[in-house]
Amino acid sequence: MSEPVLHIPERSDEMQEIIGYVPHWVIRWGVSVIFISLGIILMTSLMVQYPDTLVAKTLINAREQPQKITWFTTDPDITYEPNVKDAQNVRVGDTLVTEFDHKLKKKTPVISKVTGRTYLLKGVENKPKAWMLLVVPKVVNFEVQLRLPVYGAGKVKQGQRVLVRLDAYPHDEFGFLEGEISEFVPVSIDNYYRANVKLTNGLITNVGKTLPIQPLLQGSAEIMLDDKRLSHRIFGTLL
């Protein structure tokens, strides 16, 4: 006895026509929406300008640099005696440390070359028997220097806007300093180009905070190069 055969009725021509039919208005509106969207994107890219940027290392150097004196207590025939205490104000010419050579019966004074505040430290640079005396002057004058990578340095020129972010003062809390390129040195030194920046508001950041100056501050700078339209960013040289 043969098994019954299951017959699936074929779709009628009318059903096939209904399923395969796409209304013309859907096609027209779909194509219109695509072209309108592309037009909006193209117009926006042509109108919006996006600055081309270059990132560089930043150094803020005080012209009044600290004086550093280091000595070790390893030779019993040579001893050192500080003539100043920690957190003491000294002037140029004051005796900071006296070195005694017991074999030669000689003493040598170390004279302060700057006027400033003393910091007496023990156990520095991973050397527990080392002593260091710093005389840190009050910073009055400083300069902002940039170390530019070779790639793209040729785009840098005087007057371009610069945003400076310092490592010691995170920008998400303290903000950033604003300035402009005041001088560009067109010679590569140690695989870097150099440029100087004039700060617009001194050490006052964009959020109104005044940063205390130190003899040396490091960070990064973002140089705003010539503005480019967003279309150039997206399509490159195709436009």
pLDDT tens-digit map of 150-166: 999 999 999 999 999 99
Q: Is the pLDDT of residue 46 over 90?
A: no
Structural domains in the chain, sorted by start: 52-63+140-227 (2.40.30.170), 67-137 (2.40.50)
Could you tell me which residue, 49 or 185, shows the higher pLDDT? 185
Q: How confident is residue 49, by pLDDT bands cut at 50, 70 and 90?
A: low
Short-list 155, 158, 151, 164, CA closest to 225: 155
Q: Are 144 and 58 in contact (CB under 8 A)?
A: yes
Q: Are 136 and 215 in contact (CB under 8 A)?
A: yes
Rounded average pLDDT over 108-137: 90
Least reliable range by pLDDT among 74-78, 135-139, 142-146, 234-238 = 234-238
Q: Is the pLDDT of residue 195 over 80?
A: yes
Short-list 197, 204, 201, 202, CA closest to 220: 197
User: Mean pLDDT in the chain?
Assistant: 83
> How many percent of the chain have pLDDT more than 90?
59
Q: 13-43, pLDDT tens digit by residue?
A: 555 555 555 566 656 666 677 767 766 766 6
Q: Is the pLDDT of residue 236 over 70?
A: no
Which pLDDT score is estimated for 231? 46
Least reliable range by pLDDT among 3-12, 93-102, 128-137 = 3-12
Could you tell me which residue, 44 or 192, shows the higher pLDDT? 192
Q: Are 90 and 119 in contact (CB under 8 A)?
A: no
C-alpha dist (Å) from residue 227 to 45, 50, 78, 184: 13, 6, 64, 19
